[in-house]
């Protein structure tokens, strides 16, 4: 084996081993812990980063590894410049460090959110207005 191949192999082992590119983006999220189709707990938080394979988020506390979770993430782009979106992600919690938790995505879909009072607003304005009520948009 050539020297360059050995160095590349070692860098792959010691460096980043995730297969999916991660994007550092902080978005408001609502989470639910689910076991046997029952909601055990829920709360709010913010994403730390996300990829096509997982989401790393801060919810203010440690969540139990191995349980299923569903996240509703307020998406920063409007559908057709009109309708606010949320990304719904479900998967298993695979890591918990302090108040930060990681889930491996099993399913995902985009859903539109209800527009408050029929007025078009940016997602950040919708989140600010609904922060006191503890919810944003429709979360089933």
- Evaluate whether residue 113 is within a structural domain: yes
Greater model confidence, 45 or 113: 45
pLDDT at position 19, please? 72
- Evaluate whether residue 57 is within a structural domain: yes
Per-residue pLDDT of 29-83, as tens digits, reads 999 999 998 999 999 999 999 999 999 999 999 999 999 999 999 999 999 999 9
pLDDT at position 131, please? 41
What's the CA gap between 80 and 44, in Å, rounded?
A: 27
Q: Is the pLDDT confidence value at 1 over 60?
A: no
What's the CA gap between 72 and 107, in Å, rounded?
A: 12
Q: Is the pLDDT confidence value at 18 over 80?
A: no
What is the mean predicted confidence (pLDDT) over 115-132?
Answer: 50
- Evaluate whether residue 13 is within a structural domain: no
- Evaluate whether residue 47 is within a structural domain: yes
- Evaluate whether residue 35 is within a structural domain: yes
Neighbouring CB atoms inside 10 A of 75's CB total 18
3-state class (DSSP) for residue 82: coil
What is the mean predicted confidence (pLDDT) over 23-33?
Answer: 96
- Evaluate whether residue 136 is within a structural domain: no
Using only C-alpha atoms, what is the Rg of the chain? Answer: 18
Banded model confidence at residue 91, pLDDT cuts 50, 70, 90: very high
Count of structural domains, the chain = 1
Write down the pTM of the prediction: 0.70
Range of the domain at 69: 24-130
Look up the CATH number of the domain holding residue 113. 2.40.10.220
């Amino acid at each position: 084996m050539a020297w360059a191949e050995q160095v590349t192999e070692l860098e792959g082992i010691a460096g980043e081993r995730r297969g999916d590119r991660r994007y550092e983006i902080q978005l408001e999220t609502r989470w639910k812990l689910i076991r046997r189709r029952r909601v055990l707990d829920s709360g709010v938080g913010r994403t730390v980063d996300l990829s096509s394979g997982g989401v790393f988020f801060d919810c203010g506390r440690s969540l139990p590894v191995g349980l299923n979770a569903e996240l509703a993430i307020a998406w920063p782009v409007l559908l057709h410049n009109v309708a606010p979106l949320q990304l719904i992600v479900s998967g298993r919690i695979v890591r918990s460090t302090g108040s930060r938790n990681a889930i491996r995505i099993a399913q995902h879909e985009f859903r539109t959110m209800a527009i408050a009072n029929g007025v078009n607003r940016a997602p950040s304005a919708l989140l600010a207005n609904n922060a006191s009520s503890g919810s944003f948009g429709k979360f089933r």
